[in-house]
Structures are given as C-alpha cells and as structure tokens.
Amino acid sequence: MTVRAAIALGSNLGDRQAHLDAAVTALGQLGTVVAVSAPIETEPVGGPPGQGRYLNAVAVLDTNLEPRRLLDECLTIELAQGRVRDERWGPRTLDLDILLFGDRQIAQPGLTIPHPELARRPFVLEPLAEVWPDARYPDGSLVQSRGRLTDPEMAAPSYIAVFLTTGLLAVALWWIMDLFLG
C-alpha cells in the first residue's frame, strides 16, 4: 500500500545544494517524489560551535516501503553523500529525517514517527507547509497549527482582558468567548 511520507533534508558541509539534489534523486528510487520545497538557509541548532549554516528542505514521497526500510534507505543515502556520524549534532554533508509516515505513530529504537522535534523546528515546519500544508499528526491535528503553538514568536496570547463586568453585553461577550476559546 502506498503511504505519503515527509522527509526533512539538511546539509551544512560541502556543496550543500548538490547533496540535497542527490538525496531527492535517490529518494525518487524509493517511490514517487510528489513535491520538494524550496531550500532555506538556517543557523545550526545545537551541536558544536562554529558550524556552517544549514540548507534545509522537505521532500514529500509516496512510497510502498515500510517505515524501518525507509529509514534504512535514508541512512544509505546519507552514507553515499559522505555522511560521517562521529559527533552528535555535528556538521554533516547530508541529514535525512522521516518527519511523517502517513497516519502512523511509531516508537521503536532508532525510529520515532512523527519526528519528536517536528513542532519545535521552524526550519522544518516552513518547508513542510510549502509542500504539504494540510499534513496531519496521527491524532488528526494539523502539523502547522501545533507548530505555531509551540513557537513562542508565533504563539497567540492565552488570555483576553475583559473590562465589561455587568449587563447583557457582558454576558453575551462572555458566552461568545467561552464558545470560541473553550
């Protein structure tokens, strides 16, 4: 059965765009690449100081592979691009992360889907919104809405100040607020 998956692509060593392009070509051997976001350049998150900036993108892939097999293939693609895993969050020629795999929720050693940091990573949320704006978590909630709620710069206030304390207008306003805000 064909499943739609979202794969994050990142590179901060060498010819970053060439690494991303090679990854997209290789992903095409694993299914049908439906869409690829425009690349965005970002500062590294975590890891050792002095790393170069990342080039990030997201590819949407329709595949018949099982999640573990897709992960294994992604690791093979990384190796083919010269990925060396000698330092946690260190610089890399290519990093591929499975963000979503249909409506599946998976918690296995070395494989967690949806990606546990998805909602906290604007460098993934932005490209994902471009290519799969209605992407959903297994519980049905929109990825983008949950991401906005966890991004402090984009979060809506959790309160509304009301100065009306008596009268029919105050009751109506209170009822409307309760209806929409819960």
What is the set of active-site residues? 83, 92, 95, 97
3 state SS for the chain: CCEEEEEEEEECCCCHHHHHHHHHHHHCCCEEEEEECCCEEECCCCCCCCCCCEEEEEEEEEECCCHHHHHHHHHHHHHHCCCCCCCCCCCCCCEEEEEEECCCCEEECCEEECCCCHHHCHHHHHHHHHHCCCCECCCCCEHHHHHHHHCCCCCCCCCCCCCCCCHHHHHHHHHHHHHHHC
